[in-house]
């Protein structure tokens, strides 16, 4: 099922991919119903290793310059937890109010709270941030929060609450743009986002371990994306999302896969990569619900894709054994030997991204191309500027982009200054 000893052995691969942070899903002791959440944040599920294994993983990651983010689900427990048991037994138990779904927005319960200045329900996030900062000053809070733009300021506030928020708004409109082969929805989505504090950040992503949630799109827009990337009923989930991996959605088209990854690597924010997308892993739609995109990482063409030597029937989720995305055809070991493979391309692209911090945190603006399918933007750092131009269409385009280069009359002699 994957454990800390195995993860530690793969740190060199992650470092070679130019990853500098690993986000761990819950690994705490749990009866493992609904994939296992509980409230013992000081322990490790024995199936995944020991506390010592976890500490060893942290040390080895730090040696390679890799930070670690732990999944902290503060309002979701297993059904065995004492709070949950008491809430079930007593309708008047105050623990009943402790339980609402598992994403950050549901942690803040607005029902029954007067809309007054002196009762800010989001103040709890400031308290969490203060507690974290006192205990570990360089730690960050990253929220998996599917928010409409008007609610974002509650979570960033003045930079004293959440550090990083997943950019679900842009993510959903990015797939609308890919479906239409038109960059306009991406531009519009970014323009609709409110400004955020300078030391806060968006997390840009393509896919997560859940369905591709399209709930923020209009009914007509959602149907466009469904028809493009999830035309069959068994590809959809909860009437709002698509339960497929990125590569199958894009028909395993190498140019489109590179385009999609290039977008999250260059658009303003921090790119977040879903395991397996770097090699173009597929999905298994025969599995129920979200498990279709949670199949084991395909490390090699050996038994169980090199993920485990356990008997096949002991794997928590089976590996993909047949078809275009079989582990015998799609795996890390094979692609690492091929300089033209997707993982080799992405390794170079991520190295370039790390060499160009302007993309993540520089001042930025859209550039006009005169062609809706061509999306261009410029990001400026201190005395430097980088440009990205993406063709979202399936045809060749010729565009003229005004980079707006100007020489400042006030600049020191011998020091060129480029401005968008």
Which entry of 56, 86, 102, 151 is annotated as an active-site residue? 102
Report helix angle 184-192 to 168-180, nearest 10. 160
Examine the residue annotation and report whether 63 is marked as an active-site residue of this protein.
no
Which entry of 3, 38, 53, 144 is annotated as an active-site residue? 144
Name the residue among 53, 70, 58, 259 with its Cα closest to residue 175.
259
The span from the CA of 240 to the CA of 169, in Å, is 14
Name the residue among 247, 259, 386, 403 with its Cα closest to residue 320.
247
Examine the residue annotation and report whether 358 is marked as an active-site residue of this protein.
no
Q: Kindly report the three-state secondary structure assignment for every residue of the chain.
A: CCCHHHHHHCHHHHHHCCCCEEEECCCCCCCCHHHCCCCCCCCCCHHHCCHHHHHHHHHHHHHCCCEEEECCCCCCCCCCCHHHHHHHHCCCCHHHHHCCCCCHHHHCCCCCCCCCCCCCCCHHHHHHHHHHHHHCCCCCCEECCCCCHHHHHHHHCCCCCCCEEECHHHHHHHHHHHHHCCCHHHHHHHHHCCCCCCCCEEEEECCCCCCEECCCCCHHHHHHHHHHHCCCHHHEECCCEECCCHHHHCCCCHHHHHHHHHHHHHCCCEEECCCCHHHCCCCCCCCCHHHHHCCCCCCCCCHHHHCCCCCHHHCCCCCCCCCCCCCCCCCHHHHHCCCCCHHHHHHHHHHHHHHCCHHHHCEEEEECCCCCCEEEEEEECCCCEEEEEEECCCCCCCCCCCCCCCCCCCCCCCCCCCCC
Beta bridge pairs of residue 242: 212, 236
Residues catalogued as catalytic: 102, 144
């Amino acid at each position: 099922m994957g454990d800390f000893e195995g993860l530690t052995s793969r740190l060199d691969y992650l470092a070679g991919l130019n990853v500098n942070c690993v986000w761990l899903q819950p690994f705490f002791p749990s009866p493992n119903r609904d994939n296992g959440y509980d409230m013992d944040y000081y322990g490790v599920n024995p199936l995944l290793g020991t506390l010592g294994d976890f500490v060893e993983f942290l040390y080895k990651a730090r040696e390679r310059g890799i930070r670690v983010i732990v999944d902290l689900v503060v309002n979701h427990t297993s059904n065995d937890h004492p709070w949950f048991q008491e809430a079930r037994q007593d309708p008047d138990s105050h623990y009943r109010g402790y339980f609402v779904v598992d994403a950050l927005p549901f942690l803040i319960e607005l029902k029954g709270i007067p809309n007054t200045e002196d009762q800010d329900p989001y103040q709890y996030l400031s308290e969490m941030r203060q507690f974290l900062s006192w205990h570990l000053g360089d730690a960050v809070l990253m929220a998996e929060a599917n928010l409409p733009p008007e609610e974002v300021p509650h979570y960033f506030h003045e930079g004293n609450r959440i550090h990083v928020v997943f950019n679900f708004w842009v993510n959903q409109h990015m797939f609308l743009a890919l479906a239409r082969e038109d960059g306009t929805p991406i531009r519009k989505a970014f323009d609709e986002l409110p400004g955020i504090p300078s030391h806060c950040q968006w997390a840009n992503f393509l896919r997560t371990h859940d369905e591709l949630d399209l709930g923020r799109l209009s009914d007509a827009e959602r149907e466009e994306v469904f028809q493009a990337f999830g035309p069959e009923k068994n590809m959809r989930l909860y009437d709002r999302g698509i339960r497929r991996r990125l590569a199958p959605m894009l028909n395993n088209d190498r140019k489109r896969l590179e385009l999609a990854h290039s977008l999250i690597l260059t658009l303003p924010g921090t790119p977040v990569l879903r395991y397996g997308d770097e090699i173009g892993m597929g999905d298994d739609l025969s599995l129920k619900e979200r498990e279709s995109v949670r199949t084991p990482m395909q490390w090699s063409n050996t038994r169980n894709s090199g993920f485990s030597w356990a008997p096949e029937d002991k794997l928590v989720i089976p590996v993909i054994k047949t078809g275009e995305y079989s582990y015998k055809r799609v795996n890390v070991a094979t692609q690492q030997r091929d300089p033209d493979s997707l993982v080799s391309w992405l390794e170079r692209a991520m190295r370039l991204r790390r060499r160009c911090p302007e993309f993540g945190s520089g001042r930025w603006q859209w550039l006009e191309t005169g062609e809706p399918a061509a999306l261009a933007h410029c990001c400026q750092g201190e005395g430097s500027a980088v440009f990205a131009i993406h063709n979202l269409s399936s045809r060749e385009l010729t565009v003229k982009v005004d980079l707006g280069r100007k020489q400042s009359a006030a600049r020191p002699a011998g020091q060129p200054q480029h401005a968008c």
